[in-house]
Amino acid sequence: MGRFIVRRVISLIGVLIAITILVFALFQFLPHPELQLAGRFASPATLAHIRHQWGFDRPIYIRYVDTMKLIFTGKVISYDQQLNVDHELVQRLPATISLAVGAGIIWLSTGILFGLISAWRAGRWSDRALTVLSMIGVSMPVFFLGASLSYYIGDKLQFLPASDYVSIGSNPWEWLKHMIMPWFALSVLFIGVYSRVLRSTILDTINDDYVRTARAKGLSERQVMIRHVLRNSMIPIVSLFGLDFASVIGGGAILTESVFNLQGAGQFAATSVQQLDIPPVMVITIFGASAVVIIGALVDVVYAMLDPRIRL
Amino acid sequence: MTTSATGTELEAGAWTPDHAPGEELPPGIGPYRLALRRLRRNYVALAFGALFLVIVILCILAPVYSHIAHMGPNDENVDQATNAVGLPIGPTWKLSHFFLGADSVGRDVAVRLLYGGRNSLIVGALATLITIVLATVLGILAGYFRGPIDGLISRAFELIWAFPIYLLGIVLGLVLGLSGLDLGIVKIGGNSLLIPALIIGVITTPYVGKPIRGQVLGLREREFIDAARQQGLSHVQIMFSEILPNVTSTIIVFIPLVLANAILTEAGLSYLGAGVRPPNPSWGNMIGDGIHLLPAAVHTMLVPGIMLTLCVLGINVFGDGVRDALDPRAKIRIEH
C-alpha cells in the first residue's frame, strides 16, 4: 500500500509539472502580449518599457520559471486591472464549491436512483420514460437549459432569483434560493449519463454467477440488488463522479456559472478570456487541471483500499 | 434471406460444415448486415435518425431559403425588423418575411438558423472526423506496440484528460483565434471554422482513444494475430488488415456519441466567444445573442436552442439504436 501511494504521488507530480509547461507553452503562441497592456496607441518606447518590466524580453525558460514562481507564491497580477489573481480566485471559490457540492449530491443520488429504477424495470414504461428523460437531458446544452430556467422561473414567475450568488455566510436562505436553479441545470446532463451507465452495468452484472449464488442463499431480492449487484455496479460510477466533480471544482462548469452569473472560478476564466487577460486564464487552467489530477489520484488510492485487486 | 432473422440465428453454433475442405463456403450473414437488420426494426431510432437527416438537409438548403426570404445570413433590415418600441419582431410565420422573427440588429432568425446550423454541423462533423482518425491511429499504435510508444500516447491522453473540457477549449480558442494556426504548408486564419473543429477534435480524442487502446491490448494476444505474424505480415499490415476490422464496430458506435458531443461543445464554446466567430452564425452564438437580449425577444434564444436540442437528440437516439444493433450486450462503453 505504501509503495503504491508513493508511486502514485511521484506520477502525480510529473503530471502537474507537465500541466504547467503545457499551459505556459500554449500562451506563448499569443502575439505581442505587451499590446494588451499598453493599449492601442502606445509609443514604441512605452512598449519596450512594458516588455522589459513584465519580462517579455527574457528567454522562454526563465519566463516559465518566473511565471510559476509568481503563481505559486501568490504574487501574479492580471493585465487588465492589475489585481492579484490568486486572491481573486480564492474569493470566487465559495461560489464554485457551493455549485459543485450541491449539484454533485443531486446528480449522484438522482442518477443512482434513476439507474436503479431503470434497470429494475428494464423494458417497462418507467424504464422507457426515464430513458426518454435522460436522452433529452444529455441532448440539451446546459447554458440553454439554464437561461430558459432563469427566464421562465426567475424573471417571469418570480419564483426563484434569476441569477447571482449570495454568500452562505451572509444569508443561508438566500444562498439556497440562488443555488437551486444552477444545481438543477448542472445536474441534468450528469443524471442522464450516470443513470444510463448504471443501468447498463447493472444489467450486465445481474446475470453473473455470484448474483445467482446470493439468490440461492435465500437473500431477499432487495438485499441481492443493493448489497451485491449495486455494490459492484457502482465502480464505474465512482470513477465518473470523481472526475466530473473535480472538473466542476476546477472551474469546469463555466457555462452554468456564466449563465447564472455566479462569479465562480469558471466564469472568472470566461470573462478574462473575453478581455484577453492572460494571467487569470493561466492560473485557473492550471488550478482546474490540478484539481482533476489530485482528486483523481485520491480516488485511485481510495479504490486500492476498497478493492485489493486494483493496483494501478 | 428475406425470412425474418433474429439475432440468435448465427449465435447458435449448431451449424456443421457440410462442404469439402477448399470448397466455396455457403453465403452467411455478416455481422454488419445482421446489425443493419436489427437497426431496421428499431423504428424509434429510425425516426430520430430521420429527424436528424431532415435538419441536415434543411441546413444544406440554407441558400435556397435565403433567396425566398430575400435576406442573407448577415443582412440587417432594422426598419422592418423592429416593432413600435424598438424591439426585434417575433415570428411572423410567413415564409417570405421574418418567418421566425428578427434578432437585435434586424437579421432574419430563420435564415441565420439554417446558416448557423450549417456551421455547427460542419464544425461537428470535422471535429468528429479528427477525433475518430486520431483516436483510431493513436489507440491502435499504443495498444499494438505497447512499451514506450504506449507510454507516450497514454501520457498525452492523460494530460489532455486532466483539463476540464471547456476550460481547455476557451484557452485554445483564445490562442488560436487570435494568432491563427500556421502548419507550415497551410495557414488557417483565426476566423476559420477549422479552428473550433480542430480544438474540439483534439480535446475529445482521449475519450475515444483510450477504449480503443484497451481493446487492441486484448486483441493483440489473440491467435489470429499470431497467425498473421507467422505468415510474415508486417506490423502495418497487421494493424490495418487484422486489428482495424476488429475495432470497427467500436468506432462506429462512437461516431454518433462524438458527433453529438462535438455539436454541444461547439455551442458552448461559441457562447463563451471561443468557437465560431461572429458575425458568422452558429447555433451556439445565436443562443448566446438571444440570452444577452433577455428578457426581451425570447424567440432569439428559443429558436436556435430548440433546433440544437432536436438535432442532438436525433443523433443520440439514433446512435443508441446503432449501439443496440451492433453491440446488443453493451460491451462498448465510454470510459471516463
A99 close to A248: Cβ distance less than 8 angstroms: yes
| pLDDT higher than threshold 90 for residue B50 | yes
Greatest Cα-to-Cα distance within chain A, rounded to the nearest angstrom: 86
* Domain range summary for chain B, segments of one domain joined by +: 44-335
Percentage of chain B surpassing pLDDT 90? Answer: 28
Is residue A148 within a helix (H) or strand (E), and if so which, with residue range?
helix A142-149
* Cβ–Cβ gap A252/B164 under 8 Å: yes
| Predicted pLDDT of residue A102 | 93
Q: Identify the band that residue A121 occupies on the pLDDT scale cut at 50, 70 and 90.
A: confident
- CA–CA min distance B327, chain A (Å): 12
What's residue B2's pLDDT? 38
What pTM did the predictor assign? 0.86
For residues B301 and A144, the answer to whether their CB atoms sit within 8 Å is yes
What letter represents residue A231's amino acid? R
Mean pLDDT of chain A: 84
Residue partners of B295: CB distance under 8 A and separation at least 6: A151, A155, A156
Least confidently predicted of B115-129, B218-232, B318-332: B318-332
Q: What is the CA angle A289-B190-B118, rounded to 5?
A: 95
Q: How far is CA A153 from CA A50, A162, A189, B178, in A?
A: 49, 7, 19, 38
Quote the pLDDT of residue B200.
Answer: 93
Min Cα separation B44/chain A (Å) = 11
Q: What is the pLDDT of residues A166-223, one digit of tens each?
A: 888 888 888 888 899 999 999 999 999 999 888 888 887 887 888 889 889 888 888 8
Query: What average pLDDT does the segment B221-227 reach?
Result: 90
Rounded to the nearest integer, the mean pLDDT of chain B is 82
B43 pLDDT more than 90: no
For residue B82, give the C-alpha cell: 423592429
Q: How confident is the model at residue B117 (pLDDT cuts 50, 70, 90)?
A: very high
Chain B residues whose beta carbon lies within 8 Å of the beta carbon of residue A31: 178-179
Q: Is A97 exposed, middle or buried (0-12, 13-18, 19+ CB in 10 A)?
A: middle
List the CATH code of the domain at B44-335: 1.10.3720.10
- Give B 228-267 residues with CB within 8 A of chain A: 260, 264, 267
Percent pLDDT > 70 in chain B is: 83
In sign, the C-alpha dihedral spanning B254, B255, B256, B261 is positive
Most confident of A31-40, A60-69, B30-39, B116-125: B116-125
Instruction: Give the residue-averaged pLDDT of B47-70.
Output: 88
Exposure string of A31-48, with b = 16+ CB inside 10 Å and e = fewer, is eebbeebbeeeeeeeebe
* Residue B185 C-alpha, separation from nearest chain A C-alpha, in angstroms: 18
pLDDT at B19 over 70: no
Q: What is the pLDDT of residue B263?
A: 94
Are B164 and A288 a contacting pair at CB < 8 A?
yes
Higher pLDDT, residue A305 or A36 = A305
Residue B4 has pLDDT above 50, yes or no: no
Model confidence band, residue B7 (pLDDT cutoffs 50, 70, 90): very low
C-alpha cell at B277: 466567430
Interface of A with B in 231-290 (CB under 8 A): 236, 239-240, 243-244, 247-248, 250-252, 254-255, 258-259, 266, 269-270, 273-274, 276, 281, 284-285, 288-289
Residue showing cell 428499431: B42
Lowest mean pLDDT: which of A10-14, B202-206, B292-296?
B292-296
pLDDT digits (tens, 9 = 90+) for B175-216: 887 777 766 666 777 678 888 899 999 999 998 998 899 889
Question: Which residues of chain B have a CB within 8 Å of the CB of A142?
Answer: 268
Model pLDDT, residue B51: 94
pLDDT of residue B56: 94
Mutation site, A138, A139, A156, interface B, largest B CB count within 10 A:
A139
Q: What are B203's three cell numbers?
A: 480535446
Structure confidence at residue B260 (pLDDT): 93
pLDDT exceeds cutoff 70 at A309: no
As a whole number, mean pLDDT of residues B121-128 equals 94
Least confident of A271-275, A298-302, B9-13, B99-103: B9-13
